[in-house]
Amino acid sequence: MILYKYMSFEAAKSVLKNNSLGFANPKTFNDPFELEAGYPIEGDNPLQNMLSGISNWGKRYIWADTSGVLSLTRNPLNPLMWAHYADEHKGVVIGINVKKAGFLDSQKCLIPAQFGNVIYTNTRPIHELLKNSDCEPISVGHTFHYPKGHEDKLQRLFLYKPSCWAYEEEVRIVKCLSDRDKYGVNISGKFSEIELPNKIIYGYEMPDESIEEVYFGLRHDFSSVAKFQAEINELSNKYPKVSMKKCSLSADSWKIKAEDIK
């Protein structure tokens, strides 16, 4: 299965050079409702609700601080995504083989890709979480695998979004960032901290051959493609089968099309 990441051209060069993708804390995302559906208020007792609210805030903070989320999408030719996330069609979309990247591994992903479809709703879920007495408790902020029996809680925390975001067709991979050693390694994989002006992202080192496709936006300066192709050729051991495509406008619809770069 191939999933896609929209980004600027400069970010794409960094991704290909380092063979890594950035996971981010959900508290840094542009949607202020992230994690808010995770722990609804339960019960009618005002004091109990106040105490529950404090406890829930603490749990949400820990999940936000210790979890890294990678946001991917199913569609490499979405005009809105190109406009919003790929430098107004001047950037790049990278296609990732999620199996080769290890994003289907339920032992190393808190939410692997096959369970990471974002759920878009018009109303915010406020009903009580499903209770499952047969499953083991999970450690808040220190769970590295996909814990069966806790699907409802994980979906509420990481996968519910307002329906206005549905155009993104988002699929998320969530990894635990806790307990990394001095080399940036934990059960989830190997990460390197990358400081950006307003946040820190965690570059996850992918196995070779995880990246299979590169799409250039229709406003991209294609005078740089030849140079970029040379850079790709230098990294041929890592990327022996990368398919490079350029985008253009369809002549008879509102769609974007892509063709191979010869």
What is the pLDDT at residue 152?
86
Q: Which residue has the higher pLDDT, 205 or 126?
A: 205
The mean pLDDT of the chain is: 87
CA pair distance 110, 158, nearest whole angstrom: 10
Taking the alpha carbons at both ends of the chain, their separation in whole angstroms is 25
CA dihedral 168, 242, 14, 209 (to 10 degrees): 100
Instruction: Provide φ and ψ at 176, rounded to 5°.
Output: -80, 130
Coil vs helix vs strand at 15: helix
What is the pLDDT at residue 169?
98
Here the tokens at position 19 are 């063979």
Distance of CA 74 to the CA centre of its chain: 12
Please check whether residue 96 is in contact with residue 15, taking contact to mean a CB–CB distance below 8 angstroms: no
CA pair distance 198, 154, nearest whole angstrom: 27
Instruction: Provide φ and ψ at 169, rounded to 5°.
Output: 45, 50
What is the pLDDT at residue 6?
98
Q: What confidence tens digit (pLDDT) does each residue in 201-251 have?
A: 999 999 988 999 999 999 988 777 777 777 667 666 667 788 889 999 999
CA dihedral 52, 66, 95, 209 (to 10 degrees): -140
What is the pLDDT at residue 256?
97
Whether residue 137 has pLDDT greater than 90? no
Q: What confidence tens digit (pLDDT) does each residue in 144-186 have?
A: 999 988 888 899 889 999 999 999 999 999 999 999 999 999 9
Average pLDDT over residues 93-105: 97
Domain map of the chain by residue range? 2-260
CA pair distance 162, 166, nearest whole angstrom: 8
What is the pLDDT at residue 232?
66
What is the pLDDT at residue 229?
72
- Cα–Cα distance list, 92 to 12, 244, 259, 261 (Å): 7, 10, 14, 14
